[in-house]
Amino acid sequence: MQLHIHFIGIKGTGMSALAQITPKIEDAIISGSDVDQIFFTDAILERAGITPLVFDPKNVINADLVVTSAAYDESHPEIAMAKELNIPILTYPQFLGKLMSRKRGVCIAGTHGKTTTTAMVGKILLDKGLDPTVVVGSDVPCIGGNAHAGLGDLFIAESCEYRRHFLNYSPENLIITNMELDHPDYFRDLDDVLSAFNELAQKLPPHGHLVIWHEDPNKDFIQTPAKKVTFGISADADFRAVNIVFNDLGCSFDVLIHSEIIGSVNLNVSGMHNILDALAAIALTTKLGVPSEDILQALKGFNGTKRRFERLGVRNGAVIVDDYAHHPTEIQTTLDGARRSFPGRRIRAVFQPHTFSRTEKLFYEFSQSFQEADEVLLAEIFSSAREKKSNGSGSITSAKLAELIGERGISTKHFLTLEEISSYLDQTLEKDDLVITLGAGDIYKVGHLLVSVS
C-alpha cells in the first residue's frame, strides 16, 4: 500500500534532500510544507516535482507518516494536529536512519568539512557508475543538487553530531574529518563531543572502515570494531598528500597510499582543508573498491559546493567569495587558504557570528582567527531559531568582538545592518581586493549584492 508521507519544513536543506530520495526507497506519495519565503531549495523541489504548501494543520490530515525538521517542536500547528490524529511522527535524523538501514550506509561526520567530503565521495561513486543515494548539506552542482536518489546499494549521508543526531544511523563505513567543540548550546565540552563520535564509531561492523584524520589530536580516543584508516600529511598517515601547490584556480598534490605515489590531483577548490577532505574521500572510496585512476579523474571535475569558498563573481577587479565558515577553526582555515591562493590581494573578511551561544563560548577563539585578513567587517550576531530569546540580551556582542579583533592590530569595523556593510564595500572596493563573506546566516547577501551592482 502506497504511503502518504508529509514533510514539515520541507525547504530545509536536509528535509528537501529526504523528500527527493524517499520515493526511490519507499513506495510513497510525498507532500511538504514550509514558510512562504523563497529558498534555493525551491528550485530543487520543483525539479523533483514537489510543490511546497504553506504551513496549515489541514496539510497533515491525510498523511500516514509525518517527518519533521528539528527546527520545530510540538507547538507547531501541523505537529500538534498530527499528534491529535495519532499520525506517527519521525524527526529528520530518525527518518534518515530508517532509509539508510535499507542500504549500505556511509556516514560522513566531523566538526568541519562534512559537506565537501560528502560531495566528493558522492561524485566519485556516481562517476564510477555505482549510482549511490547521496544526502548532502548544500547545493552541489556536480551531483545535481543536494541529493541523488540512486538505485545502487550505497547510501552516503552527511551526518551531524548536533544533539547526537547521527546516532540514529547505523553505517557500515564512516569518515570522521575532525573533532572540535561546536554546538555549545548542547555539548558540555570537548569530552562530550568525543564521546558522541566514539559512540558512532562503536556502531561500525568489523568488516567496515573508519577513515579518520591522522593529525587529529584526539583520534586515538575513538575506538571501533571496524578497520581504522588514516589520512593526512604526516609521514605515517595511510593516505597522504605531498608536493602541494596552491594557485588562484585551486591546488594540486600527489597522493601516497602507504608511501606509494598513486597519482596527482588537481582540485578546482583551494585550501588545506579541501586537500584533507579529498584525501578522506580517496581513502574511503579506495576501501569501497574504486580504482585509483577513477578516483583521481573524478576529483579533477569536482568544482565545489554552494557556500564553500564559492566564487560569486568579480566587481571592479575585486574577487568576491562566499563561505559558510562559522567556527573559529573554519574561519582561520578559509583565510589561510585564501592567503595561499591569492598572495597579492588585500583580504577583506566580512563575518557574521552565528548564534549567541557559539559566539560566547568561543569568543576568544573567534578574536584569534582573523590573522590572515587585512580588514575585518563584523555584522550583528545571527541568532538561531533554537536559541532562547534571552540569549540575545547578554553581554556578548559583535561590537565587543570587533574591539578584541582590533586589539590584535587588524583594521576592524562593526556594522548594524548588512546594507551598511554593502554600502561601505561599494564605496571602498579596489581592484586587488579579495572579499570573503563568512558565516552560516544570511551574510552571503552582501556578496550577491556586490556582484549584482553594475
pLDDT value of position 137: 85
pLDDT value of position 44: 87
With a cut of 70, list the residues of the chain below it in pLDDT.
305, 385-394, 454
103-300 CATH fold: UDP-N-acetylmuramoyl-L-alanine:D-glutamate ligase (3.40.1190)
pLDDT value of position 284: 98
Q: Where in the chain is the domain with CATH 3.40.1190.10?
A: 103-300
Q: Looking at residue 262, what DSSP letter applies?
A: E
pLDDT value of position 387: 59
Q: Top-level CATH class of 3-90?
A: alpha beta
pLDDT value of position 299: 95
Q: Where in the chain is the domain with CATH 3.40.50.720?
A: 3-90
**Stretch (H or E) spanning 89:** strand 89-91
pLDDT value of position 28: 94
β-strand pairing of 209-213 with 89-91: unpaired
SS3 257: strand
Q: Where in the chain is the domain with CATH 3.90.190.20?
A: 310-452
pLDDT value of position 393: 46
Q: Which of 306, 314, 387, 309 is nearest to 353 (CA)?
A: 387
Cell numbers describing residue 302: 569536482
pLDDT value of position 190: 97
pLDDT value of position 383: 86
User: What are the φ/ψ torsions at residue 209 (nearest 5 degrees)?
Assistant: -135, 140
β-strand pairing of 89-91 with 65-68: parallel
pLDDT value of position 278: 97
**Which residues are CB-neighbours of 402 under 8 A, at least 6 positions away?**
376, 378, 412, 413, 414
Please indicate, yes or no, whether the overall pTM of this predicted structure exceeds 0.95.
Answer: no
Domain 310-452 has CATH 3.40.630.30: no
| pLDDT tens digits for range 241-298 | 999 998 877 899 999 999 899 999 999 888 899 999 999 999 999 999 999 999 999 9
pLDDT value of position 303: 75
| pLDDT tens digits for range 301-348 | 787 767 777 888 898 889 999 988 888 989 998 998 889 888 889 999
